[in-house]
Amino acid sequence: MIQRIQSLFLLLVALLAALALFGGWSFYSASGVKSASLTYTSSTINDVRITEVFSLLLMAAVMGLSMVIIFLYKNRKLQLLYCWLLMALVLLTAIMAFLRYRNLSAQLLEQTGVEGRIGIMFLFPLLMLVAISLAMRGIWKDELLVRNMDRLR
């Protein structure tokens, strides 16, 4: 149900995943003398294309799973289990993004001498993890409320 607060948190996760998915996986921004004419993304390097596709698939899975979790409101235990899975997927995506950043910065520094810095997209997995944990908290509170109501009958 969309009026529950955890549904809004899961919708936020889906929105952030959609922004990361459709907004591109450009976690990397360059700065320096040569950076004005340099358009260097991870899709231009052959070694990183496999991780790029896998990251896109992971982010699509995060977006889809968060939308599925919203509609499992009648089965809160399954919702919590899927939230743990969603958290693991987001962590895996963040780890892959960091490894890709590290490889790209080393290659960019070696090839052009330009130093890079972490882009704003690195905040998305962190925001997703916070939203998922808040959603899990809301789901657990609902579960406790239902248990207490059953006890009162």
Task: Report pLDDT digits (tens) over 36-76.
Answer: 434 444 444 445 566 677 878 888 999 999 999 999 888 88
For 58, the token pair is 């992971």
The residue-averaged pLDDT of 125-131 equals 93
CB atoms under 10 Å from CB of 23, counted, come to: 11
**Angstrom distances, CA of residue 43 to CA of 20, 47, 52, 104, 129:** 15, 9, 7, 10, 26
Average pLDDT, the chain: 79
In the chain, % of residues over pLDDT 70: 73
pLDDT band at 34 (very low <50, low <70, confident <90, very high): low
How far apart are alpha carbons 93 and 57 in whole angstroms? 10
Distance of CA 143 to the CA centre of its chain: 26
pLDDT band at 3 (very low <50, low <70, confident <90, very high): low
pLDDT of residue 35 exceeding 50: no
For 1, the token pair is 């149900």
- Is pTM beyond 0.85 here? no
Sign, CA torsion 40/41/46/47: positive
Give the CB-side neighbour count of residue 103, counting CA atoms within 13 A: 17
pLDDT band at 89 (very low <50, low <70, confident <90, very high): very high
How far apart are alpha carbons 126 and 13 in whole angstroms? 10
Give the pLDDT confidence score for residue 135 in this predicted structure: 94
